[in-house]
Structure 1
Amino acid sequence: MTTFDVKILDGHIVVHINNFEYIVDTGSTVSFGRATTIFINGQSFPIRDGGPHGLTADSISRISRLQVDGLIGMNILANFDIKFTRNQITFSNSPLFPTGKAITVPIVDAVLGIPIIILSIAHKDRRIFFDTGAKLSYLSDDLLVGNSIGEVDDFHPSIGDFKTKVYKIDVTINGKVESLTFGSLPSSIRYLLQLGRTEGVIGTELLNKYYVILSNLSKTLILEPLDEEESFD
């Protein structure tokens, strides 16, 4: 088991590992960056200097407006159970178990390694991507009901910057109702939801309310409630 320091920067999880700064992104199938190899828990993982859409450490820094050395995706993350807190990330070669207060959500599927969980929205179970590369969560437009609470700036590597209206939507997570903020994906990238037969993406907003364990070994997402909700926005 190995623990590294992290920073939450504009809703992104940035880990300091092997003297480099990487975005931790469960929504990416691949890893890339300035280093040629990443070492975690005695294992070595070679990484490329570029990712999809021609991304590099320089371009992801420019697009995200963060100074990072690359991105760690599911080709590395899937090898471990991983616990996310607001200032640390722990990688374990053996299963990490929930506390008595934890909520356990099954990982029902994965598309290109990206985990999919089930959340109840509008009284129906929905397939949702779990994406730590997303500072904002997203839903299909038909689930964005009520009045918008404003607009948020976001970006996607394939299209760059965009604005989206956001909504507060009630989500039932294993029987517990949470009000979370969701936006609408631009039309040019809505096909990403169709790839996984999903109806949304849930991002790092969960870390306002929970410590999160991504258990790749037991195929569950474990949410341990914080004593008091905090915001890093």
Structure 2
Amino acid sequence: MTTFDVKFLDGHIIVGINKFEYIVDTGSPVSFGRATTICINGKSFPIFDGGLHGITADSISTLSGLQVDGLIGMNILANFDIQFTRKQITFSNSPLFQTDKAITVPIVAAVMGIPIILLSIAQKNRRIFFDTGAKLSYLSDDLLVGNSIGEVDDFYPSIGAYKTKVYKIDVAINGKVEPLIFGSLPSSLRILLQLGQTEGIIGTELLTKYYVTLSNLNKTLILEPLDEEESFD
């Protein structure tokens, strides 16, 4: 088991490993960066300069406005159970145990390694991507009910920066209703939901309300409520 310090910057989780800083992105099937290898828990993973669509550390830094050395995706993350807390990330080679307060959300599938969970929205369980690379969550437009509460700037590596209207939508988690902020995906990105037969993407806002353990070994997402003063915000 290995624990690293993290920074939570503009909705992105940044971990420092061997003097390099990486975005932790469960929404990316691949990893890339300026280093040649990433070593975690005695395991060594080779990485390359570029990811999908020719994305590099420089282009991610430009789009995000953050100075990072690369991105750690699911080709590495899937080898561990991973616990996210306010200031740290822990990688374990064996299953991490949950506490009595924990809520278990099933991981029902994965597409290119990206986990899909079930969340109750509009009184029905929906297949949703769990994406720690997404500072903003998204839903299919038919679930974005009510009036928009504003616009948010976001980006996607293959299309660059864009603006999207956002909505506050209730999500039921273990019987508790959590109002979360969701945007509408640009039309060119909606095929991403279709590929996974999903209806949305849940991003890092979830980590502002819960300690989150991604149990790749037991195929569950474990949520433990944060005290208000322990929030990432």
> Is 1:105 the equivalent of 2:105?
yes
| Residue deviations 1:130-187 (CA, integer Å, cap 9, x gap) | 0000000000000000111111000000111100111110001232211100000000
Q: Secondary structure at the match of 1:71?
A: strand
**Paired position in structure 2 for 1:62:** 62
Unaligned runs of 5+ in 1: none
Shift of 1:232: 5.0
1:14-25 pair list within 5 angstroms: 14-25=14-25
Shift of 1:48: 1.0
**Paired position in structure 1 for 2:139:** 139
| Residue deviations 1:49-80 (CA, integer Å, cap 9, x gap) | 11011111111111111100000000000000
> Aligned residues, how many?
233
**Paired position in structure 2 for 1:91:** 91
Paired with 1:106 and 1:176, the residues of 2 have a C-alpha distance of 17
Shift of 1:124: 0.9
Paired with 2:169 and 2:229, the residues of 1 have a C-alpha distance of 17
**Paired position in structure 2 for 1:77:** 77
Q: Secondary structure at the match of 1:75?
A: helix
Paired with 2:99 and 2:138, the residues of 1 have a C-alpha distance of 29
Paired with 2:95 and 2:175, the residues of 1 have a C-alpha distance of 24
Tell me the amino acid that sits aligned with residue 3 of structure 2: T
Shift of 1:221: 0.1
Q: Secondary structure at the match of 1:152?
A: strand
Q: Do the aligned partners of 1:11 and 1:232 also contact (CA within 8 Å) in 2? A: no
**Paired position in structure 2 for 1:129:** 129
Paired with 1:146 and 1:47, the residues of 2 have a C-alpha distance of 44
Q: TM-score, normalised by structure 1?
A: 0.98
Paired with 2:76 and 2:45, the residues of 1 have a C-alpha distance of 7
Paired with 1:232 and 1:63, the residues of 2 have a C-alpha distance of 22
Pair 62,169 (structure 1): closer, same or farther in 2 beyond 3 Å:
same
Percent identity at matched positions? Answer: 85
Q: Do the aligned partners of 1:122 and 1:143 also contact (CA within 8 Å) in 2? A: yes
Q: Do the aligned partners of 2:86 and 2:230 also contact (CA within 8 Å) in 1? A: no
Q: Secondary structure at the match of 1:138?
A: strand
Paired with 1:74 and 1:86, the residues of 2 have a C-alpha distance of 21
Paired with 1:38 and 1:232, the residues of 2 have a C-alpha distance of 26
1:45-56 pair list within 5 angstroms: 45-56=45-56
Paired with 2:147 and 2:229, the residues of 1 have a C-alpha distance of 24
Shift of 1:230: 6.2
Shift of 1:228: 1.5
Unaligned runs of 5+ in 2: none
Q: TM-score, normalised by structure 2?
A: 0.98
Paired with 1:87 and 1:230, the residues of 2 have a C-alpha distance of 10
